[in-house]
Amino acid sequence: MAEVLVYEGVCEIPAEVPAHIIDEWEVTLKNAQARIYNNLIQKISSDTAFKNFIADASSDAYEAFVNPNFRKANVIKMKQRVKLARAYNAWNTGVKNAFDGDSPYFADRVTAKKDKYQLARYTLSAVGSKPDLYWGPIPKAVLLLTGDLRAPRYIGANESLTGSPQKVVLDEFVNTIRPMLISEGVYGVVMAYFAHEGGLADLRDNVIRQTNQNLEKILNSFMDTSAYVAGGLASGGDYKDPASWTGTYVHIYFDATSEKVKVKARAETVS
């Protein structure tokens, strides 16, 4: 067995979301006002449609969510279903007031909420953005493990790479597995940072453990195990601890010294 690729990157949270990203979000959303309204009224054109697509669908899901052992569970479920079933007129009026014609409400609300888009800083730390950060550490790690020869050109000062890109998955699944791994990894990074900043170290570590287990399941399921060693965990190891990881993997971990979430990808051949 031979180690043929090791990559490590840091999920650096930018001080703020680049202005051009927020401006593009604002303009794009405002320009979509008429389309959003038309789609809504075409899909939900009557009280009957509202009950079918919104009210009953919501109540069905809500009833499965409510704990049947909770006191007055049936009453709680009934109240939710009854209240939604009679809400079409209020919903329709609200939609028209927000979206119809020259109503300024929607555009004003979009502008007023721009500051909330700063939460995207956490996502950008993991996924990157063009042209500011290009590929972030999560997509870079995934690209390296799926044989993308461009990725090494974008290794930054706070990253390390030894070896070369390896296509560790079967050819027919390269394009399928990339978005699966990236979405799972980015979600894990964001939730880990949220938990850490909330002072919830145990929850942060559990998020990392679950994310790494999911990443391992995905990658192992599509791996070319005739050429590469599947990812695993050393005996007595911990999914939050890089020293415990074996084989071929892409994982995240929390560096207590820098207080940053990091990404590590590794490829190991069977011979």
Rounded to whole angstroms, how far apart are CA atoms 136 and 146? 16
Cβ–Cβ under 8 Å, residues 218 and 181? yes
**Angle, helix 137-145 to helix 120-127, in steps of 10 degrees:** 30
Rounded to whole angstroms, how far apart are CA atoms 6 and 8? 7
CA angle 95, 97, 99 (to 5 degrees): 60
Burial of 43 from C-beta contacts in 10 A (0-12 / 13-18 / 19+): exposed
Domain boundaries, given as residue ranges, for the chain? 2-17+132-269, 19-117
Rounded to whole angstroms, how far apart are CA atoms 256 and 64? 40
Rounded to whole angstroms, how far apart are CA atoms 49 and 39? 13
Q: What separation in angstroms does the CA of 186 have from each of 100, 136, 261?
A: 36, 10, 11
Cβ–Cβ under 8 Å, residues 232 and 246? yes
Answer positive or negative: Cα dihedral of 121, 123, 125, 131: negative
Say how many C-beta atoms besides its own lie within 10 A of residue 151's C-beta.
Answer: 22
What does the pLDDT read at residue 229?
Answer: 98
Q: What are phi and psi of 61, to 5 degrees?
A: -70, -40
Rounded to whole angstroms, how far apart are CA atoms 64 and 52? 17
Residue pLDDT tens, the chain, 271 long = 899 999 999 999 999 999 999 999 999 999 999 999 999 999 999 999 999 999 999 999 999 999 999 999 999 999 999 999 999 999 999 999 988 877 789 999 999 999 999 999 999 999 998 777 679 999 999 999 999 999 999 999 899 999 999 999 999 999 999 999 999 999 999 999 999 999 999 999 999 999 999 999 999 999 999 999 999 999 999 999 999 999 999 999 999 999 999 999 999 999 8
169 Rama sector, left if φ>0, alpha if ψ -120 to 50, beta otherwise: beta
Look at residues 139, 187, 149 and name the one whose alpha carbon lies nearest to residue 9. Answer: 139
pTM of the full predicted structure? 0.90
